[in-house]
Amino acid sequence: MAVRPIGIIMNGVTGRMGLNQHLVRSIVAIRDQGGIALPDGDLLVPDPILVGRSEAKLRAIAAAHGIARVSTDLDGCLANPADAIYFDATATSLHAGHVRRAIARGKHVYCEKPLATTTTEALELARLATSRGVKHGVVQDKLFLPGIRKLKRLVDSGFFGRVLSVRGEFGYWVFEGDWGGQPSQRPSWNYRKEEGGGIIADMFAHWRYLLDHTFGRVKAVQCLGATHIPERVDERGRRYAASADDAAYATFLLDGAAGGAGGDIIAQFNSSWAVRVYRDDLLQIQVDGILGSAVAGLRGCKTQHRVTTPRPVWNPDVPNPFDFYGQWEDVPDNGAFDNAFKVEWEMFLRHVAADTPFSHDFHEGAKGVQLAELALQSWAERRWVDVPSLETSPPDVGAQHAAPLHRHGVS
């Protein structure tokens, strides 16, 4: 058994997700466990170099986690043949440019979603990576959450019978930053459409792969977006106008036949950074089928089978006699669940080092960008919009939706 180091250029680790999920809970955790086993028995150990604009911040993070290398020179890092992988967790508007430079240098690339700001650009990156012969992947972490994996287990087992509908509630209150010493939990660029912000651009990439891989391909979308909080305070205490959407209310039509459900499925998702939580988790998904129903959160999942379904009767004149929550059963873990980001990182690292299968590539990432663009089009035009298949579309598919991810003519 040999230990094989693999150099990873990590750009964007001073941000919340890049630091907590990708660096600390994924790459550092993999290193601290001794690496990951490859099919030939070798151990693959990540050797990261942290890249960004602030050397002081990078050095503080590196010192806290035992990392030897930092740099503020991205091009210099990309020129180093010892580092095989480039990872990007910077602002959405910067992804495509960074990824394009990494591909040109022959790096394998792993990128946070959304991959780009237009479908055309995302597909271009996929073609560039394929023609250059480099491995490419996009973060699709929700698929590896314990609650979603339990939900997928139910779908695959036929628990629901024919799936009728899916309802998703996501979000929480993001503080405006202007009262009570409560800073915003999200960076200000998330609320600036000119910087790639907006909840549709951010979250619909998640909903696309989650729906596609759990229930069936998304066939059509109807969406209404909103900017509920028009003004916020940025990281420096300055007020700014929020130009991007902070909430979206969408309905999707899914091809249930493709997923074995037997017919089209209606999925409704409310996504908001301006909602106060009265549910079990920040993401909660309910699935109703002929034979049973389930409610999944980030870690847990509960079910109710048709034979245990209660028989309520509408009568507002007497107190409710039912304990509706108590009539659901927990889906057991039946095994250990690791951090969702770490699970996908291990898959991508094995893909690079040993050519093991990895389906979460740039083509999959382009589908998420496509859905966001079409949802924005639906909002602007106040209508349903079909979602064409990217696999069978011509190379310039998405050119008709080539404007950046933000509102188009919506007041």
What CATH number corresponds to the domain at position 301?
3.30.360.10
Domain end, chosen from 307, 330, 353, is at 330
169 and 314 inside one domain: yes
Query: What torsion do the CA atoms of 58, 63, 66, 71 make, to the nearest 10 degrees?
Result: 30
End-to-end CA distance of the chain: 62
pLDDT at 261: 54
201 and 280 inside one domain: yes
User: Is there a domain that residue 282 lies in?
Assistant: yes
| Domain of residue 95, residue span | 3-141+340-361
pLDDT at 394: 36
Of 203, 129, 118, residue with least CA distance to 362: 129
User: Is there a domain that residue 372 lies in?
Assistant: no
User: Is there a domain that residue 399 lies in?
Assistant: no
The DSSP bridge partners found for residue 331 are: none
- The alpha carbon of 287 is separated from its chain's Cα centroid by a whole number of angstroms, namely 20
Give the chain's residues under pLDDT 70: 258-262, 391-411
62 and 151 inside one domain: no
pLDDT at 180: 87
Q: What total number of domains does the chain contain?
A: 2
Question: What's the one-letter identity of residue 402?
Answer: A
User: Is there a domain that residue 393 lies in?
Assistant: no
Say which CATH number the domain at 60 has.
3.40.50.720
User: Is there a domain that residue 30 lies in?
Assistant: yes
353 and 291 inside one domain: no
137 and 153 inside one domain: no
Measured distance CA(386)–CA(219) in Å, rounded: 6
351 and 290 inside one domain: no
Of 270, 273, 272, residue with least CA distance to 285: 270
25 and 126 inside one domain: yes
99 and 161 inside one domain: no
User: Is there a domain that residue 51 lies in?
Assistant: yes
Of 214, 229, 93, residue with least CA distance to 156: 214
311 and 177 inside one domain: yes
pLDDT at 251: 98
Whether 271 contacts 262, CB under 8 Å: no
Query: What torsion do the CA atoms of 373, 172, 218, 121 make, to the nearest 10 degrees?
Result: 30
93 and 176 inside one domain: no
pTM above 0.75, yes or no: yes
232 and 349 inside one domain: no
User: Is there a domain that residue 208 lies in?
Assistant: yes
User: Is there a domain that residue 391 lies in?
Assistant: no
Domain end, chosen from 311, 330, 349, is at 330
65 and 33 inside one domain: yes
> Tokens for 157?
């087992």
pLDDT at 402: 34
Domain end, chosen from 310, 330, 350, is at 330
